[in-house]
């Protein structure tokens, strides 16, 4: 007996109408009738009895209905588990911070494709807090993040360190400086990037956050808006060194102290690594991140 024959029989036993059962199965009535006749020949008895316009199961048919339903349920479970197995070995959900350098991300993706060409990648982009929650819930498998500290729920692997710079418009007084000490930010109009992890990096240095010294005039999540407002002279901002910048924007290193963020690839502690996660980790470890040239 074959699975499609069992499926036809179960449809007919549910509807007790061969025409409707054939429609439900997407086949012609003769095909369904032949399949059921084949089952009857193999089992040695009638499964259905037709009396005029009434069709009903025989005792053998009722007995086989229970067994065949168990077989069909087992087959569907097997298909579902097989699909999950295949998906677990070919699909990866990667969370990436929105301020990740595109050059570094593309270098990683190319390196990963070379090592796992059959991998299907879904990239989930947001700020660090959202990504951490998604990783905790299991909505994503692995993440590239920049938190200064991680709870015991996460396992970070440091990839590279990225200094912060001061961004300003042409003609600003910072243009006369080779580097900008943090104290020089005092009193400046500031364009704040919402969800920026920059202030939290001061915690490692026991340094006061600069937002107490600057005048925050604008706040937005949009990176292009931040840079455009700064280029228009509406204020200064701080930004990761490897982030692409628009024209008419000048940059200087931030010093005294130098502040940096640590870019890490992070997994959930206690969660077994799937093959795609293992490949992503191996690729991240083997990539020479210092050799990546930032976008301009």
SS3 262: strand
* Mean pLDDT computed over 268-283: 92
Q: pLDDT value at position 167? A: 96
Q: Give the tens place of pLDDT for each residue, 40-73.
A: 999 999 999 887 678 889 999 999 999 999 998 8
Q: Give the tens place of pLDDT for each residue, 190-248.
A: 998 887 655 555 555 555 555 567 888 999 988 899 999 999 999 999 999 998 889 88
Supply 64's token pair: 């086989």
The DSSP H or E segment spanning 76 is: helix 59-90
The model's confidence at residue 280, banded by pLDDT at 50, 70 and 90, is very high
The model's confidence at residue 107, banded by pLDDT at 50, 70 and 90, is very high
Bond preceding residue 257 cis, omega within 30 of 0: yes
**Helix, strand, coil fractions of the chain, as percent rounded to 5:** 45, 25, 30
pLDDT over 90 for what percent of the chain? Answer: 63
User: What count of other Cβ atoms lies within 10 Å of the Cβ of residue 108?
Assistant: 22
Backbone angles phi and psi of 52, in degrees to 5: 55, -120
* Mean pLDDT computed over 169-198: 88
Q: pLDDT value at position 34? A: 93
Check pLDDT > 80 for residue 83.
no
Q: pLDDT value at position 160? A: 95
Q: Give the tens place of pLDDT for each residue, 244-260.
A: 889 889 999 999 888 88
* Mean pLDDT computed over 247-275: 91
* Mean pLDDT computed over 182-196: 86
- Asked which of 84-88, 107-111, 202-206, 265-269 is least confident by mean pLDDT, the reply is 202-206
pLDDT over 70 for what percent of the chain? Answer: 90
């Amino acid at each position: 007996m074959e699975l499609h024959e069992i499926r036809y029989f179960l449809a007919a036993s549910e509807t007790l109408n061969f025409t409707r059962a054939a429609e439900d199965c997407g086949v012609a009535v003769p095909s369904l009738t032949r399949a059921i006749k084949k089952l009857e020949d193999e089992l040695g008895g009638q499964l259905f009895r037709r009396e005029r316009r009434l069709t009903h199961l025989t005792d053998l048919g009722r007995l086989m209905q229970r067994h065949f339903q168990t077989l069909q349920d087992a087959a569907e479970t097997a298909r579902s588990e097989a699909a999950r197995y295949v998906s677990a070995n070919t699909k990866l959900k990667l969370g990436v911070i929105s301020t990740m350098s595109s050059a570094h991300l593309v270098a990683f993706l190319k390196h990963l494709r070379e090592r796992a060409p059959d991998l299907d990648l879904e990239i989930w982009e947001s700020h660090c807090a959202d990504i951490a929650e998604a990783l905790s819930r299991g909505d994503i498998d692995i993440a590239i993040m920049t938190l200064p500290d991680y709870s015991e729920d996460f396992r970070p692997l440091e990839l590279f360190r990225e200094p912060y710079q001061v961004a300003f418009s042409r003609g600003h007084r910072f243009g006369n400086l080779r580097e900008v000490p943090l104290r020089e930010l005092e009193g400046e109009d500031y364009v704040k990037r919402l969800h920026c992890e920059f202030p939290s990096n001061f915690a490692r240095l026991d340094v006061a956050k600069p937002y107490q010294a600057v005048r925050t005039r604008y706040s937005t999540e949009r990176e292009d808006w931040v840079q455009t407002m700064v280029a228009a002279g509406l204020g200064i901002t701080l930004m990761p060194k490897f982030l692409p910048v628009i024209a008419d924007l000048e940059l200087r290193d931030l010093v005294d102290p130098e502040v940096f963020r640590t870019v890490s690839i992070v997994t959930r502690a206690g969660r077994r690594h799937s093959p795609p996660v293992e490949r992503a980790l191996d690729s991240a470890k083997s990539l020479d991140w210092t050799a990546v040239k930032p976008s301009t």
